[in-house]
Amino acid sequence: MPINKDNCRANDPQFDLDWDDNHVMPKVICPDLAFLFRRINDVAVSQVAAGKGERILDIGCGRAIDAVELAKGEGECLGIEPSEKMIGHAKNYIGQRNAEVTLIRGIGECLPFKDASFDKVMCKGALDHFPYPDRAVGEIARVLKPQGKAIIAVANFESLSFKLGKRLFKVMETLHKEGLDDKRVWQVPEDHSHKFDYASLRKIVEPHLKVERYVGISMFFGFPWWGMLLGRMPSSISLITLNTLDKLARRLPSLSDTLLLKGSPRHQA
């Protein structure tokens, strides 16, 4: 399957080539958010299971934090990122860690690689920023070797906590409660191009990838005042609570905070 040049219009105004993540992290990080980020990183890297001599691609690599971790597996790790600012952050991070990661500026919808070039491809927390995520998944399948593995993770905007939180706020608005924040975590951020949930992720992924498993990560992030409550608990109790909910999320990915999948390409003859 040749590179689809129609996907390669980097001058398309929908591509954000100057994106910077300095605004992403809130000033106060509650235990639920810290746990969620840590678990996403741990699960994604463990699912990649970087092996010696493998060629691995991290799409939308950002600051290359994951790419540096994957490079420890004695394989070759490449990171592709459209934003020049993020490439600069990544170069600094790689240099500080004295790691061997190759950085390429490019877009996920048009990967500058030959067919069947990689053993593993990871796209974590980036697909919902892409203007054309279906094209990106098609490109992931194209550059994977026949027995290669794709690992994709996205935020679930139909998680249990978001569903309950929206209902709770509707009730509170009806009661004219004051002090409600206009900015709510279940609202899709402006820098997201798509809102994913379990059904919509399956819809764009499964035509291109044979999915081996869907894994749910964390549960109840973003429910009103949940993070504050966890912060007032003893840290040991808070961690036990978060780990218990995480185990439940693994069994119920459609209700989890983050959706992760692992699959192999459906290469067409």
Domain segments of the chain as ranges:
5-265
pTM of the predicted protein model: 0.89
Q: Which helix (H) or strand (E) holds 217?
A: strand 209-217
Q: What phi-psi label fits residue 218: left (phi over 0), alpha (psi between -120 and 50 degrees) or beta?
A: left
Token readout for 23 is: 């605004």
Q: CB-based burial of residue 236 (10 Å sphere; 0-12 exposed, 13-18 middle, 19+ buried)? A: exposed
Q: Is the pLDDT of residue 74 over 90?
A: no
Per-residue confidence (pLDDT) for residue 14, from 0 to 100:
67
Per-residue confidence (pLDDT) for residue 9, from 0 to 100:
57
Residues 110, 117: Cα–Cα separation, whole Å: 14
Token readout for 29 is: 């990080």
What percentage of the chain carries pLDDT values higher than 70? 88
Q: Is the pLDDT of residue 25 over 90?
A: no
More confident residue, 19 or 135: 135
| CA terminus-to-terminus distance, the chain | 9
Burial code of 138-154, b = ≥16 C-beta within 10 A, e = fewer?
bbbbbbbbeebbbbbbb
Residue 137's Cα: distance from chain center in Å? 13
Residues 154, 259: Cα–Cα separation, whole Å: 5
Per-residue confidence (pLDDT) for residue 176, from 0 to 100:
66
Report, as an integer, the average pLDDT of 169-192.
68
Query: Between 3.40.50.150, 3.40.190.10, 3.30.70.3040, 1.20.120.1730, what CATH number should domain 5-265 receive?
Result: 3.40.50.150
Report, as an integer, the average pLDDT of 41-65.
95
Report, as an integer, the average pLDDT of 155-164.
94
Per-residue confidence (pLDDT) for residue 181, from 0 to 100:
58
Residues 137, 108: Cα–Cα separation, whole Å: 8
Q: Is the pLDDT of residue 172 over 80?
A: no
Per-residue confidence (pLDDT) for residue 39, from 0 to 100:
98
Tens digits of per-residue pLDDT, 222-238? 898 899 999 999 999 99
Residues 107, 128: Cα–Cα separation, whole Å: 13
Tens digits of per-residue pLDDT, 76-121? 999 999 999 999 999 999 999 999 999 999 999 999 999 999 999 9
Q: How many CB atoms are closer than 10 A to CB 211?
A: 16
Please state whether beta strands 101-105 and 258-265 pair in parallel, antiparallel, or not at all (unpaired): unpaired
Over its C-alpha atoms, the chain yields an Rg (Å, rounded) of: 19
Per-residue confidence (pLDDT) for residue 22, from 0 to 100:
74
Report, as an integer, the average pLDDT of 53-76.
94
